[in-house]
Amino acid sequence: MRTDVATPVRLEDYRPTPYAISTVDLDIRLAPKATKVTARIAFSRREDTAVGQSLELAGDELKLVSLSLDGSALAADDFEASADKLTIHTPPADPFVLEIVTEIDPDANSKLMGLYRSSGTYCTQCEAEGFRRITYFLDRPDVLAVYTTRIEARKSDAPILLANGNPTEAGDIEGTDRHFAVWHDPFPKPSYLFAMVAGDLACVTDSYTTLLSGREVELRIYVEHGNEGRCDYAMDALKRSMRWDEEAFGREYDLDIFMIVAVSDFNMGAMENKGLNVFNDKYVLAKPETATDQDYAGIEGVIAHEYFHNWTGDRITCRDWFQLCLKEGLTVFRDQEFSSDMRSRAVKRIADVRLLQAHQFPEDGGPLAHPVRPTAYRQINNFYTATVYEKGAEIVRMLKTYLGDEGFRAGMDLYFERHDGEAATIEDFLKSFADATDTDLDQFALWYSQAGTPTIKASENWDEAAKTLTIELEQSCAPTPGQETKQPFTMPVRFGLIGPNGNEMEWSAVSGAEVREDVIVLTEASHKVVFEGLSARPVSSLLRGFSAPVRLDDGKSREDLVFLARHDNDPFNRWQAVQTLAMQLLKRGAQAPTTLASDEIQELAALLGEVSADENFEPALRAQLLQLPSEADIAREIGTDVDPDAIKAARKAVEVAIAGHCLEGFAELYEALADEAPYSPEAAAAGRRALRLVVLDYMASIEGEASARTFAHYNAADNMSDRLAALRLLVHRADTHAQEALEDFETRFGKDALVMDKWLTVQATAPFPETLARIRTLTAHPTFSYSNPNRIRALIGAFATGNQTQFNRADGAGFEFVADTVLSLDKRNPQVAARLLSAFRSWRVLEPGRRALAEAALRRVAQSSDLSSDVQDIAARSLQ
């Protein structure tokens, strides 16, 4: 085991830096292997800093070329420099300028942090700690400064030179083949928001005039030459985002220009650098033949997310990395709301909850659980998690549910007013809401500090004589690493009571908890909420819209669930009722297959048949209602001694039975939904396609039904949603046409790496023992490369997170393969390696044989020498 484990950074140790920085002037002379960076940094001693206190600047793999202070070179004993630190022993008492010259090698930067090259384009990624790979700096989010950036490069290498802010100067350097550009960003920002890009890129332009003050903003999207025709949707999404932020939050854009650059090698989705967002090209490029409806929705969401960071992240940033959810949870909430307004709110909510349950619940229930605002970390890169992002967004949503629309808006307005231009904390955020609405949010704040998914256990008692309904609601939360006991949370439970005729019921009085309109506010471990004056026994609908990120165990009878599935006017809870009915069957099918009675399956099938044909629901919602819980969902619900093969068999049996029961209706629906109109990515058309594909999926589960129709669907497709869905069905059902379709796909799209990622994923997620060997073969395919994060995620990431039976193979070969990949990848790109290793996060829920094999693979990783702190941290915490 590694012994030089990094000491953790702790929230309680936070102190401001002894020196502040007012301005940073960068002069970057680009060359592929030896880029020279001159940083002139203006420091000033803070009032309470003793004169002469040393100044420590962070570095990472840096080479210092020269150093001077106020224009004079420093004597050798005035400072100490290593690759990861520069110390100035006794800085002056008065403000001073330090000029640091470093030399860096963008070509050798395989970590994709700091300045690197992607397909020849120079680009940067500085969040969280990448700026220190460019120059020595106080590289932390609470040091805000005004940046001016001059970039110089050979014209032929990099005709385009970009940085944050507005362009101020550009020109040729006479007598040379070089040119330069200067950019000035007037908004003080932390170093993690610094960015520069240089390369030979194509540019798509547009403009946006702000609603609030009529300012014209130039919009530019930069892509590799040849991709100009794939930017329309991203540009449209950007303009819609800019408008929506003005309308929904009163936030206007602030620079003269907003730029997006799409690069092909990127560790995550995108980055919100001030005025110069850098994107993984997957979230920019789209045309119907190459992008699925899900891709379009992803582009819309990520473009919006990064744009919204301009206010929640850039104008108001985080005091320290513990406050990451301050910008991420809030910005996810904002992008979710944007997409809800652009598309169907109900469908978006279901999709978001599905995502939360699929990614955040397992994290919160396993060894990697951590509070939304953690209190210690060894490697901050490992805290860009579903908990910080998705649960962080749920907390903001709860705040809105609890305080109401007006109270929420008043709190947001006060937050922007008070903290614009600052590096803030969760306390600052909550205080804005508390002050704006005169509400005590101390108990609510526990959502940020207590990890784990709470459970609400609900039980009901109907008193026919008194006509009262008593709902007992008990909350609890299981221990998580470092947190044995939990205090009760404030939980807003949105609800309704549904009468026998399907209508909402009124009551004359309610007691036992605070009830704000249709929200019961839980504050104690247990409440007995009594509704009086009801005309008949209602069926309760609790946690409407998933109003709190909890597990609800309300023990509803099958009869009541079927009633809710038919009558609840909350679309989310309708979906939830169907899911619960299906989950009960699937769980039992996996654990005790012989107890599954066919009449139970028939009941579910009848309900789904009814739902699929109900014209009152939009097609996208019907598609969600028809989709059975995934194998991973079932594993999560079972929670112990999980056998993925048994789950797969049970799911398949239920699916086939439903398909058999509904075959005629499904076939009719499939025909009726065929779209004659040309492809449109807009929500209504996407919804029809989604429903048609769910129905095709069911039909394809029946032996003999599948083949011809699915292959015809593949061949007739005029868009990627249809083509890819059909390809997946053929491959995942080992259809006779599978190989032919795979070859056809490769012939059509072999040169388009983003599309070939889909081809890799389809093969990596095929539920067969041969899959592992195929993946090994595919690692040698020309489209695959260990240096590109998208390729790794598409092939190996998809296998580890999306192939339940094969990653968790009973012989342990899946675990060994992923462990081997993590170890070799760690040397090249630790962030991507650590992310891949977190696929082991639920290893403890497996049955004993698989559990032992997963543990052995994890231990082998943990005990390897020369691990990055990223991988070391995930391995150690996974085993705790």
Q: Which residues form the catalytic set?
A: 306
String of contacts with Zn ion for each residue 316-335, x by CB under 5 A: ------------x--x----
Told to check if 778 binds ligand B3K by CB under 6 A, we report: no
Task: Look up tokens 């919204």; give the residue.
Answer: 308
Cα gap 386→389, rounded to integer Å: 5
For 190, phi and psi rounded to 5 degrees? -75, 160
Told to check if 265 binds ligand B3K by CB under 6 A, we report: no
Q: CB of 847: closest distance to ligand B3K in angstroms?
A: 34
Cα gap 387→395, rounded to integer Å: 11
User: Which of 112/650 has CB closer to ligand B3K?
Assistant: 112
Q: Which residue is nearest to ligand B3K (CB)?
A: 127
Provide the CB-side half-sphere exposure for 434 (13 A, CA).
Answer: 12
User: Which of 272/281 has CB closer to ligand B3K?
Assistant: 272
Residues in the chain: 880
324-343: which residues touch ligand B3K (CB under 6 A)? 328
Told to check if 189 binds ligand B3K by CB under 6 A, we report: no
Single out the residue of 387, 374, 459, 539 nearest to residue 14, CA to CA: 374
Reduce the DSSP state of residue 409 to 3 states and report it. helix
Which of 67, 88, 128, 608 is in the footprint of ligand B3K by CB under 6 A? Answer: 128
> Which residues, listed in sequence order, are joined to residue 260 by a DSSP beta bridge?
221, 277
Told to check if 754 binds ligand B3K by CB under 6 A, we report: no
> Which residues, listed in sequence order, are joined to residue 456 by a DSSP beta bridge?
475, 552
User: Which of 318/458 has CB closer to Zn ion?
Assistant: 318
Told to check if 833 binds ligand B3K by CB under 6 A, we report: no
User: Which of 328/757 has CB closer to Zn ion?
Assistant: 328
Reduce the DSSP state of residue 651 to 3 states and report it. helix
User: Which of 161/268 has CB closer to ligand B3K?
Assistant: 268
Task: Look up tokens 């803070």; give the residue.
Answer: 46
Stretch that binds ligand B3K, among 141-149, 225-233, 305-313, 804-812 (CB under 6 A): 305-313
Whether residue 530 contacts residue 595, with contact meaning beta carbons closer than 8 Å, is answered with no
Cα gap 727→744, rounded to integer Å: 10
Told to check if 873 binds ligand B3K by CB under 6 A, we report: no
Told to check if 152 binds ligand B3K by CB under 6 A, we report: no
Which of 30, 37, 271, 403 is in the footprint of ligand B3K by CB under 6 A? Answer: 271
Q: What is the distance in angstroms between the CA of the first residue and the CA of the last residue of the chain?
A: 14
User: Which of 298/750 has CB closer to Zn ion?
Assistant: 298
Which of 127, 295, 335, 633 is in the footprint of ligand B3K by CB under 6 A? Answer: 127
Q: CB of 877: closest distance to ligand B3K in angstroms?
A: 17
Q: CB of 727: closest distance to ligand B3K in angstroms?
A: 30
Told to check if 306 binds ligand B3K by CB under 6 A, we report: yes
User: Which of 117/397 has CB closer to Zn ion?
Assistant: 397
Q: CB of 115: closest distance to ligand B3K in angstroms?
A: 15
Structure tokens at 365: 């229930």
376-395: which residues touch ligand B3K (CB under 6 A)? 381, 384
Told to check if 268 binds ligand B3K by CB under 6 A, we report: yes
Cα 835 versus chain centre, distance: 13
160-163/216-223 β-pairing: unpaired
326-385: which residues touch Zn ion (CB under 5 A)? 328, 331
Single out the residue of 346, 321, 810 nearest to residue 571, CA to CA: 346
Q: Which does 127 bind (CB under 5 to 8 A by kind): ligand B3K, Zn ion, none?
A: ligand B3K
Structure tokens at 177: 């083949």
Structure tokens at 392: 């962080």
Q: CB of 380: closest distance to Zn ion in angstroms?
A: 14
Whether residue 113 contacts residue 45, with contact meaning beta carbons closer than 8 Å, is answered with no
**Cβ-Cβ contacts under 8 Å for 262 (sequence gap 6 or more):** 221, 222, 223, 224, 227, 279, 280, 281, 283, 284, 285
Whether residue 25 contacts residue 65, with contact meaning beta carbons closer than 8 Å, is answered with no
Q: CB of 305: closest distance to Zn ion in angstroms?
A: 5
53-92: which residues touch ligand B3K (CB under 6 A)? none
Told to check if 278 binds ligand B3K by CB under 6 A, we report: no
Helices (H) and strands (E) in the chain, counts: 28, 33
User: Which of 269/750 has CB closer to Zn ion?
Assistant: 269
For 591, phi and psi rounded to 5 degrees? -90, -35
Told to check if 274 binds ligand B3K by CB under 6 A, we report: no
Told to check if 317 binds ligand B3K by CB under 6 A, we report: no
Which stretches of the chain bind ligand B3K, using CB under 6 A?
127-128, 268, 270-272, 305-306, 309, 328, 381, 384
